[in-house]
């Protein structure tokens, strides 16, 4: 490595020390301007979209369908929504819970052998979904 490069902490690959810290500082400032509610809501919407895609709800549904991946994403989403709901306020929490319920039901419909009630993805956090 040259004298103007450093190892990237996250990837372990070399990176330029001059531009890397500047972009990291800018990213940190950008994140500092975002409220916790907005950040949690944005991440949740991304997880909802990914779960819907993996449940086969896209236009080319079967191309992206992967129920193992969907289960993992829905479990993570359910944990996040359940833990954050008291801090999100009723409006945000209700919308996220509705979206979560929708992907849980989509998962159940997409499964060849549905899980028992209370055993589906995220149901250990949300309770049984039917």
Rounded CA separation 59/120 (Å): 24
Q: How confident is the model at residue 18 (pLDDT cuts 50, 70, 90)?
A: low
Predicted confidence (pLDDT) at residue 78 exceeds the cutoff of 80:
yes
CA distances from residue 84 to 10, 28, 93, 112, 118 in whole angstroms, order as listed: 27, 22, 8, 32, 21
Predicted confidence (pLDDT) at residue 88 exceeds the cutoff of 70:
yes
What are the structure tokens assigned to 128, written together? 């049984």
Residue 97 CB neighbour total at 10 angstroms: 16
* Bridge partners for 35 per DSSP: none
**What pLDDT digit, counting tens, does each position of 89-117 carry?**
999 999 999 999 999 999 999 999 989 99
| Predicted local distance difference test score (pLDDT) of residue 104 | 98
What are the structure tokens assigned to 14, written together? 């070399």
| Predicted local distance difference test score (pLDDT) of residue 19 | 57
**What pLDDT digit, counting tens, does each position of 44-73 carry?**
999 999 999 999 998 887 889 999 999 999
SS3 5: strand
Type and span of the H or E element at 121: none
| Predicted local distance difference test score (pLDDT) of residue 2 | 45
Residue 129 CB neighbour total at 10 angstroms: 19
| Predicted local distance difference test score (pLDDT) of residue 24 | 84
| Predicted local distance difference test score (pLDDT) of residue 16 | 47
Q: How confident is the model at residue 38 (pLDDT cuts 50, 70, 90)?
A: very high
């Amino acid at each position: 490595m040259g004298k103007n490069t450093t190892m990237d902490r996250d990837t372990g690959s070399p990176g330029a020390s001059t531009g890397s810290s500047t972009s990291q500082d800018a990213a940190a400032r950008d994140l500092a301007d975002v409220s916790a509610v907005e950040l949690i809501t944005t991440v949740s919407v991304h997880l909802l979209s990914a779960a819907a895609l993996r449940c086969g709800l896209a236009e080319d549904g079967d191309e992206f369908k992967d129920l193992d991946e969907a289960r993992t994403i829905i479990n993570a989403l359910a944990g996040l929504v359940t833990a954050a709901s008291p801090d999100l306020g009723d409006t945000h929490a209700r919308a996220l819970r509705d979206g979560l319920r929708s992907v849980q039901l989509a998962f159940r419909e997409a499964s060849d052998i549905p899980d028992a009630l209370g055993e589906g993805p995220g149901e250990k956090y949300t309770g049984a979904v039917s």
